[in-house]
Amino acid sequence: MLNARNTRIVFLVLLLLTLLLDWKYGVPLCIYLLLLLGYLLLLFYGSYFIQSDFFLRSLWKGSKNRKAIAITFDDGPVKDFTPRLLDLLKCENIPAAFFLIGKSIEGNEALVKRMVDEGHVIGNHSYSHTYWFSLNKSETMFSDMKKCDDEIFRVTGKRPKFFRPPYGVINPMVKNAIEKGSYACIGWSIRTYDTNAKSAEQLLQKSLKNLSNGDIVLFHDWGQFTIGILSAFIKEAQAHGFEIIRVDELLNTKAYY
């Protein structure tokens, strides 16, 4: 299994073998550079692709034995978008999961309460969601994550167990913060890239492509075309026999402490 520990061992062995060959026969510098490049590429892969479980096992897909999927939204609450999402989900009678940014909760308390009242799951998506979040010390990350927990608890009386790292990036510092907080790291199996979509049709087709049992679909509250295609996505998924359930039910894992 490809993970951080095995990768370190393999590259250490390769480095020792290279040093031995260098001592006996001489090895060009480019070989060392290629080893370093390969190692860095694997670290990037493990950090960026949450499904790799490279540094930490995340929950990114449910059982293949049940024809069900879950819809999740990141980066809310967003005043101009989230109410419309909630209206649509209520109309379609579909539950979802909202991974909230803590700093966005103040002033949007009614939206967060409505999420809970209407049967949706709330997860932690950090308090600050800065671009450089994953480069902080683990202690700094953990404090940020707990601050988001406190905001969610202030409004809902619930403490989330689910955490989704900003941008889905996991490295040793993020891993340590997640483990310190005993969070369940929630990933996805379908990343729609709805915030970069060029058209509604493109987004809809990308969201439905290769949809399979147990998929966790990632949207964003503020995606330009997300609200416009969500009803069609739901109807198409259901037409293909998929049940749309809450992510905690899909993963058979408690969402709150």
Residues 6+ apart with CB under 8 A from 30: none
List the chain pLDDT tens, one digit each, 257 residues: 789 999 999 999 999 999 999 999 999 999 999 999 999 999 999 999 999 999 999 999 999 999 999 999 999 999 999 999 999 999 999 999 999 999 999 999 999 999 999 999 999 999 999 999 999 999 999 999 999 999 999 999 999 999 999 999 999 999 999 999 999 999 999 999 999 999 999 999 999 999 999 999 999 999 999 999 999 999 999 999 999 999 999 999 999 99
Same domain, 43 and 85: no
User: 120, 125, 129, 220: which is the annotated catalytic residue?
Assistant: 220
Asked if 123 contacts 100 with a C-beta cutoff of 8 angstroms, the reply is: yes
Same domain, 103 and 186: yes
H/E stretch holding 42: helix 29-48
Same domain, 123 and 224: yes
User: 74, 144, 149, 248: which is the annotated catalytic residue?
Assistant: 74
| Model pLDDT, residue 41 | 97
User: Using one digit for the tens of pLDDT, what is the confidence trace for 105-151?
Assistant: 999 999 999 999 999 999 999 999 999 999 999 999 999 999 999 99
Whether pTM > 0.85 for this model: the answer is yes
Alpha-carbon span 203 to 252, nearest angstrom = 29
Same domain, 95 and 18: no
Query: Total structural domains in the chain?
Result: 2
Nearest residue to 85 (alpha-carbon basis) of 210, 160, 151, 74: 74
Asked if 185 contacts 163 with a C-beta cutoff of 8 angstroms, the reply is: yes
Distance of CA 137 to the CA centre of its chain: 20
Distance of CA 235 to the CA centre of its chain: 24
Same domain, 109 and 231: yes
DSSP alpha helices (H): ranges in 93-161? 109-117, 138-156
Would residue 129 show up in a list of annotated catalytic residues for this protein?
A: no
| Model pLDDT, residue 92 | 97
Phi, psi of 99 (to 5 degrees): -95, 110
Same domain, 78 and 136: yes
CB atoms within 10 A of CB 90: 13
Same domain, 81 and 17: no
Name the DSSP letter for residue 121: E
From residue 112, give the alpha-carbon distance in Å to each of 47, 80, 82, 171, 234.
30, 14, 10, 30, 23
Would residue 220 show up in a list of annotated catalytic residues for this protein?
A: yes
Alpha-carbon span 117 to 104, nearest angstrom = 19
Same domain, 101 and 154: yes
Same domain, 100 and 140: yes
Give the residues across from 186 on adjacent strands. 59
Same domain, 41 and 74: no
| Model pLDDT, residue 1 | 76
* Residue 151 belongs to domain spanning: 68-251
